[in-house]
Structure 1
Amino acid sequence: MLKSYVALLPLALLALVGCSDDPEASFEPKDRWFTNRDGLKLHYLEFEGRGSPVVMLHGLLGSAHPSWVAPGIAGALAKQGHRLIILDQRGHGQSDRPYTASSYGEPMVLDVLELMDTLGIERAHLVGYSMGAAMTRVLMTRAPERVISASLGGAGVEELDPVIRAEAEARDPKGTDPDEQRILDEIAGDPPPDPRFVAAITEAWTAWWPPSIDLPSLRVPVQAVNGEFDAPYSKTVRLERELAGFENVIIPGRTHLTTLIDSRYVDSLVDFIQRNDER
């Protein structure tokens, strides 16, 4: 299943702007660190808004700044006054990188909860993209009492019924986005990822994923945002059927790689969080 959560690569885009509800919010992130229960030093960025917390989780081979800050997504939420916690998940960015498979998968879930505990955050909006969305769906069902709302970007939940799955897959549009090739061309000369790390996290996620999930009992507001050309129906048909109040957003003309850079993704995310806020 790991291949379903492809790497999010550094993207340079114009930041989105909006009206601030908190004039004292900082729109520049501060570098922070914490040492977890395994002795790993994990890096995160913090925007110090006074509003409700938002914890943001990047995709495989991504990291906090290029995934969330550079495209303007974090800035759009910071301008609404939110306190943002943007984690470099273990093995990524400036966080420590263990090389054993047992260090990934389930331990990554515990890192998020431990970081929230360390910062005194009882409840937060969770925002994830790709692998980060996979983490978000585990957290929202494992610890729903810690989650105000959950946004799954570039992801969903596997349909178990083969007939329903086949029908949904037949509805998934096929197409390409010219922006994807432009992005791939821009990063073509980047160094390849650490092969020892890739081997370890691939082994871990292949063995761990997908964990069981009980959707009908979940009372957390959930949104999925997928590109038109990123299997938007087969990823969400089970969510539509089993989860009351589920919101499904499809971004026209976008792929897995390019949905994250689209202003419509940011707009839908900001709107969803604002409507489900509890401050």
Structure 2
Amino acid sequence: MSERTMERVASFDGAELAVHRLGAGRPVLMLHGLFSSAEMNWIRFGHAQKLADAGFEAVMPDLRAHGDSAKPHEADAYPPGVLAKDAAALVEALGLEDYDLVGFSLGSRTSARAVIDGLRPRRLVLGGMGLEGLAGWNRRAAFFIDAIDRFDEVERGDPAFMAVSFMKTMKIDRVAARLLLQAVDDTDPEELAKITMPTMVLCGDKDDDNGSAAKLAEALPDARHVEIPGTHMSSVTEGALGDALVEFLGATA
């Protein structure tokens, strides 16, 4: 079993991001989903360990306003595209040159945006994401902002119940999260031509939360669509997720 470490890295604006690391070898920068964390998305269910066992180093930041990272309450700490800016700052600060990039849900949106803005990983994984989801953030963000605003009155049966329950489980800082939700950029489908590296669009077979994964794979220059069992929430718990990452990132062709 590899030893897990954690360090704090200053981002472009000085905000400290917690970066969890596991394994040794080719770095894989892994960006988790909304209201989640490196621990919940990548470590708890063994995905990072599978990568470490296969000869990779899992480099797993907690996104701004999540996990052990900074959760500022000032609006100017959340400029447009802040998460993609954080990703680029981490690549530079950690000296990542020959690396892979993996995202899930919000992490996929961030990864796609960061590549369009200039990051050049060897391989890219967009998990829990479909074509419509990349360009439909305003509607998605509005749903979560409403869940935050009605946090104390949401009851079972309400469409926001699962989101509120997960926020409670993860002890989300709602002030920081609300600010972050307003700082995520949409990605126009025409911009996808800039994502030229080999890409895996990895999605649960019952996950359509962010639109069609198959259509996203078709829209990318060099992508394959891979299905694993599960919904948007449950697919993260499936061992098949880690297996798919190892298979794709370990491929030489």
**TM over 0.5: same fold?**
yes
Judge conservation of contact 1:53–1:84 (CA < 8 Å) in 2. Answer: yes
Judge conservation of contact 2:36–2:170 (CA < 8 Å) in 1. Answer: no
Judge conservation of contact 1:149–1:276 (CA < 8 Å) in 2. Answer: no
Instruction: Please give the alpha-carbon distance, in whole angstroms, between the structure 2 residues aligned to 1:233 and 1:196.
Output: 24
Pick the structure with greater CA Rg: 1
Which piece of structure 1 moves more, 95-104 or 233-242?
Answer: 233-242
After TM superposition, the runs of 4+ consecutive aligned structure 1 residues lying more than 3 A away are: 186-192, 210-213
After superposition, residues 1-279 of structure 1 pair within 5 angstroms as 27-49=2-24, 51-104=25-78, 105-144=80-119, 146-158=120-132, 190=169, 193-205=172-184, 208-210=185-187, 213-231=190-208, 234-252=211-229, 254-276=230-252
Report the CA distance between 1:233 and its aligned residue. 9.7
1:191 and 1:226, CA in 2 relative to 1: closer, same or farther beyond 3 A? closer
Matched residue SS, 1:204: coil
Deviations 1:148-207 (A, max 9, x none): 1111111132289xxxxxxxxxxxxxxxxxxxxxx99x97974753221232122223xx
Report the CA distance between 1:36 and its aligned residue. 2.2
Judge conservation of contact 1:101–1:203 (CA < 8 Å) in 2. Answer: no
Percent identical residues: 28
Report the CA distance between 1:111 and its aligned residue. 1.4
Q: Which runs of 5+ in 2 are unaligned?
A: 135-161
TM, length-normalised to structure 2:
0.78
1:213 and 1:72, CA in 2 relative to 1: closer, same or farther beyond 3 A? farther
Instruction: Please give the alpha-carbon distance, in whole angstroms, between the structure 2 residues aligned to 1:232 and 1:187.
Output: 16
Report the CA distance between 1:239 and its aligned residue. 2.8
Instruction: Please give the alpha-carbon distance, in whole angstroms, between the structure 2 residues aligned to 1:81 and 1:188.
Output: 34
The one-letter amino acid paired with 1:82 is F
Matched residue SS, 1:95: coil
Report the CA distance between 1:213 and its aligned residue. 4.8
Which piece of structure 1 moves more, 221-230 or 240-249?
Answer: 240-249
Which piece of structure 1 moves more, 254-263 or 113-122?
Answer: 113-122
Aligned positions, number: 224
Judge conservation of contact 1:101–1:204 (CA < 8 Å) in 2. Answer: no
Judge conservation of contact 1:140–1:220 (CA < 8 Å) in 2. Answer: no
Matched residue SS, 1:275: coil
Report the CA distance between 1:47 and its aligned residue. 2.1
Instruction: Please give the alpha-carbon distance, in whole angstroms, between the structure 2 residues aligned to 1:217 and 1:76.
Output: 30
Residue aligning to 2:142: none
